[in-house]
Amino acid sequence: MYYNPYPIFVYPTYYPTLAIVNPPAHHQPARYLAMPTNPINTNPFPAVNTNKLKISAMRVKRIMQQIQLLTDKIDGSEQFAHDLMDAAQKSNKSEVERLIISSGITMTFETNYTPDNIRIVFTDSECCKLSLVLNW
């Protein structure tokens, strides 16, 4: 392609003409459009149904009650807090899980810990999750 520093073509005969060897075929528009074209319903989203959201909120309340059990145990017992932190810093996963279960937790959870904190992810049957991160 030729570069023209001027906004007006001074010598237009110096530029080659563009010849299309294979012109593109005329395409028909798609039969199914991504957005509905019905002028009556202009909202592209489905109708709002809050049932699943309400169920998730109810289940999260149960998870929060389980977290309350654990945090009360940590806050109320110096020995429990020491044992949990010690086991996590030593990467003793079975002892960490045993201690968490001994606090009264009955639902499934996953633990990850670093030298700075412990992260516990509580899961309620794949509907919702809640993460608890405690620093030390």
In-domain check, residue 108: yes
The token duo for 34 is: 């991504």
Range(s) of the domain holding residue 105: 53-135
- 128-135 and 108-113: which strand pairing? unpaired
Strand partners, 110: 121
> Rounded to two decimals, what is the model's pTM?
0.61
Number of domains in the chain: 1
**Reported confidence tier of residue 124, pLDDT bands at 50, 70, 90:** confident
In-domain check, residue 45: no
Per-residue pLDDT tens over the stretch 54-84: 988 998 999 999 999 999 999 999 999 999 9
In-domain check, residue 14: no
DSSP letter assigned to residue 33: -
In-domain check, residue 60: yes
In-domain check, residue 2: no
